[in-house]
Amino acid sequence: MLRHIAQYGGDPRKVFVSGHSAGAYLTCMLGMDPRWLRAQGWENPSLRGLIPISGQCITHFTLRAERGIPMEQPLCDDMAPLYHVGNPHLPPILLTTGDPELEMCGRQEENAYFCRMLKLNGHQDVQHLTFQGYGHDCALPSFPLAVQFIHRLAWN
């Protein structure tokens, strides 16, 4: 639990959340939709940064299947990270995806649009990087950039 991080030598001002694919979707939802951290007594500014790798920015496949919504049908409701781009209390975000021709169903384009909408809503500490030659397996080339992102924000 985040409230006990100091007891284990951690710094609650330096908590980053990252995940790949469904984990990236959960990373965004945790860091962008205040209800999830608020339920644990934390607020969005408590996180130092988000690093979703090849994350789904619209409503997740599982929820879409439960609701009978096809994968090709765009949907942006409160269970979509894209829905929360107007939250003024978002931490810095590093988005990474694979090549648009190799990545999952529109994933690179979703992330590019997500990044643009964050910026249009005043969130300037966000960047989206695409790795040519990689598909959904773009985690490996993302790691060095994630380390740089963490270093920039946690120790500068």
Q: Could you tell me the pTM of the whole model?
A: 0.91
Q: Which residue has the tokens 């984990």?
A: 23
Give tens-digit pLDDT for 63-92.
888 989 887 787 788 999 999 999 999 999
Residue 127 backbone phi and psi in degrees, to 5: -145, 150
* % of the chain with per-residue pLDDT over 70: 97
The candidate with the shortest Cα–Cα distance to 30, out of 51, 10, 12, is 51
Give tens-digit pLDDT for 15-37.
999 999 999 999 999 999 999 98
Q: Which residue has the tokens 């120790």?
A: 155
Binning pLDDT at 50, 70 and 90, where does residue 1 land?
low
pLDDT at 44: 63
Whole-number Cα distances in Å, 25 to 49, 52, 61, 124, 151? 14, 7, 10, 20, 23
111 within 8 A of 118, measured Cβ to Cβ? no
